[in-house]
């Protein structure tokens, strides 16, 4: 953090752009996090503006995000809007001198990602990407044990999700490929991020082969079933797989190494539940054990942890859980996987690296 971004005093003042279903969870997380203050909300429709005023009467509510960005009391902007709008709004936020929390995917093209990274550097702004699973007490414990040598050198990771179909999103944007980018960017991006994180001791990803199909033959782009195999520099590989043709929300991560293995699982009636079941089992080369997870986990809890992390970074010079550069990697993995689905061939990552 440079002189320009040195810690200030008092609460971190957040402006939130987007007050849809997920944006409202962001608002709740900001509101309840010690050291954070929700000072302004930008919402597109009059109904959303009215809901924001009713829920947070102390916050200023703007019908146009440009007005929020002109609010000099705001330090950091949290952007929770459909994916195709990420680049446009995030760039303006950075140009306005705001620090930034941007929901995943950070953008839907690599050119947009690179432009945002360059803009953040030019304005010396903190730029966090919303890969909140890294903050999970469960998925994060897997990473902690890998780094502690629990399984030896990691060789293989499986990150898998079985769930019910996606929500439509406002105006059906999530089912419109021109607005969502592709469905791999929508949720498997989280699992590519975890897989790369877990296997980073094996270097960078070098290639991906992916396949997908749809229950709607006339809409093959709406991938109900998706799987990918991603190879790494030093021999490890990861399998990322998801089905939207199942029920409830059940995620698994398995990582094996030269000495042992880890098996984490999370289940809920839906993704945004506060009452999940979860567990972590490990084999350290000698015996199998249940590894306790002391803190509740799930994306609603990780969202709160993400806001707390940003308060720490902005007030005490902590470390981001996911930087813009790491967010770009996640977009690159998804775009390469989509190209593999379309071509039926493995795709090297060489063409997806920053120039």
State what percent of residues in the chain have pLDDT above 90.
86
In a domain, 326, yes or no: no
Q: What average pLDDT does the segment 264-271 reach?
A: 93
- Considering the domain architecture, whether residues 157 and 219 belong to the same structural domain is answered as yes
Residue spans of beta strands (DSSP E) within 18-84:
36-42, 60-62, 76-79
From the CA atom positions of the chain, what is the Rg in Å? 20
Which one, of 296, 295, 320, lies nearest residue 310 by Cα?
Answer: 320
Question: What is the predicted pLDDT for the residue at 213?
Answer: 95
- Considering the domain architecture, whether residues 197 and 338 belong to the same structural domain is answered as yes
- Considering the domain architecture, whether residues 110 and 157 belong to the same structural domain is answered as no
The answer for residues whose C-beta is within 8 angstroms of residue 196's C-beta and 6 or more apart is: 204, 205, 230, 238, 329, 330, 333
- Considering the domain architecture, whether residues 203 and 346 belong to the same structural domain is answered as yes
As a whole number of angstroms, the distance between CA 324 and CA 7 comes to: 20
- Considering the domain architecture, whether residues 79 and 146 belong to the same structural domain is answered as no
Supply the CATH number for residue 45's domain: 3.40.50.720
Please give the model's pTM, rounded to 2 decimal places: 0.94
As a whole number of angstroms, the distance between CA 2 and CA 200 comes to: 28
Read off the tokens for 267: 């289940």
In a domain, 309, yes or no: no
What is the tens place of the pLDDT at every residue in 286-299? 999 999 999 999 99
Per the structure, the complete domain to which residue 44 belongs is given by 3-130
- Considering the domain architecture, whether residues 254 and 344 belong to the same structural domain is answered as yes
* Domain-terminating residue out of 106, 130, 154: 130
In a domain, 174, yes or no: yes
Question: What is the predicted pLDDT for the residue at 317?
Answer: 84
Strand partners, 231: 207, 237
- Considering the domain architecture, whether residues 157 and 79 belong to the same structural domain is answered as no
In a domain, 316, yes or no: no
- Considering the domain architecture, whether residues 144 and 291 belong to the same structural domain is answered as yes
Question: What is the predicted pLDDT for the residue at 7?
Answer: 55
DSSP states of 80-144 as a string?
-S-GGGHHHHHHHHHHTT-EEEEESSS-SSHHHHHHHHHHHHHTT--EEEE-GGGG-TTHHHHHH
Read off the tokens for 149: 């040598």
- Considering the domain architecture, whether residues 41 and 165 belong to the same structural domain is answered as no
- Considering the domain architecture, whether residues 50 and 92 belong to the same structural domain is answered as yes
As a whole number of angstroms, the distance between CA 268 and CA 287 comes to: 29
Read off the tokens for 266: 């999370």
Confidence bin at 168 (pLDDT 50/70/90): confident
Q: How many domains does the chain have?
A: 2
- Considering the domain architecture, whether residues 279 and 231 belong to the same structural domain is answered as yes
Question: What is the predicted pLDDT for the residue at 165?
Answer: 80
In a domain, 319, yes or no: no
- The answer to whether residue 2 scores a pLDDT higher than 60 is no
In a domain, 279, yes or no: yes
Q: Cα–Cα distances in Å, from 191 out to 22, 134, 272, 273?
A: 19, 10, 17, 19
What is the tens place of the pLDDT at every residue in 47-72? 999 999 999 999 999 999 999 999 99
* Domain-terminating residue out of 99, 130, 161: 130
In a domain, 280, yes or no: yes
Q: Are 351 and 44 in contact (CB under 8 A)?
A: no
In a domain, 322, yes or no: no
Confidence bin at 271 (pLDDT 50/70/90): confident
- Considering the domain architecture, whether residues 91 and 165 belong to the same structural domain is answered as no
* Domain-terminating residue out of 77, 109, 130: 130
How much is the mean pLDDT over the chain?
94
What is the tens place of the pLDDT at every residue in 4-43? 455 567 999 999 999 999 999 999 999 999 999 999 999 9
Supply the CATH number for residue 344's domain: 3.30.360.10
- Collapsed DSSP state (helix, strand, coil) of residue 265: strand
């Amino acid at each position: 953090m440079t002189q320009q971004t040195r810690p200030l005093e008092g609460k971190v003042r957040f402006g939130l752009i987007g007050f849809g279903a997920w944006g409202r969870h962001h608002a709740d997380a900001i509101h309840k996090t010690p050291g954070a203050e929700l000072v302004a909300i930008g919402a597109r429709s009059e109904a959303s503006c009215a809901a924001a005023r009713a829920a947070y009467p102390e916050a200023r509510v703007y019908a146009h995000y440009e007005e929020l960005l002109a609010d000099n009391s705001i330090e950091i902007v949290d952007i929770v809007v459909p994916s195709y709008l990420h680049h446009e709004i995030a760039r303006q936020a950075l140009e306005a001198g705001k620090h930034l929390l941007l929901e995943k995917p950070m953008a839907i093209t690599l050119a947009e990602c690179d432009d945002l990274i360059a803009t953040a550097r030019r304005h010396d702004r903190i730029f966090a990407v919303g890969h909140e699973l890294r903050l999970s007490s469960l998925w994060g414990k897997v990473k902690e044990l890998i780094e502690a040598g629990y399984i030896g050198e990691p060789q293989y990771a499986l990150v898998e999700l079985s769930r019910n179909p996606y929500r439509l999103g406002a105006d059906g944007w999530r089912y419109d490929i021109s607005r969502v980018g592709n469905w791999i960017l929508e949720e498997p991006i989280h699992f590519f991020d975890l897989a790369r994180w877990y296997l980073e001791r094996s270097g960078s990803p070098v290639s991906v082969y992916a396949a997908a199909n749809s229950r709607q033959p006339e809409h093959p782009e709406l991938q109900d079933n998706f799987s990918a195999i991603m190879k790494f520099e030093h021999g490890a590989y990861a399998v990322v797989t998801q089905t939207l043709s199942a029920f409830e929300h059940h995620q698994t991560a398995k990582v094996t190494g030269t000495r042992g293995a880890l098996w984490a699982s999370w289940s809920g009636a839906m993704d945004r539940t506060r009452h999940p079941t979860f567990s972590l089992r490990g084999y350290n080369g000698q015996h199998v054990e249940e590894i306790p997870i002391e803190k509740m986990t799930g994306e609603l809890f990780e969202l709160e942890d993400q806001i707390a992390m940003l308060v720490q970074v902005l007030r005490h010079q902590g470390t981001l859980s996911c930087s813009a550069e790491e967010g770009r990697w996640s977009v690159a993995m998804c775009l390469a996987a989509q190209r593999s689905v379309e071509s039926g061939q493995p795709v090297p990552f060489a063409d997806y690296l920053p120039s």
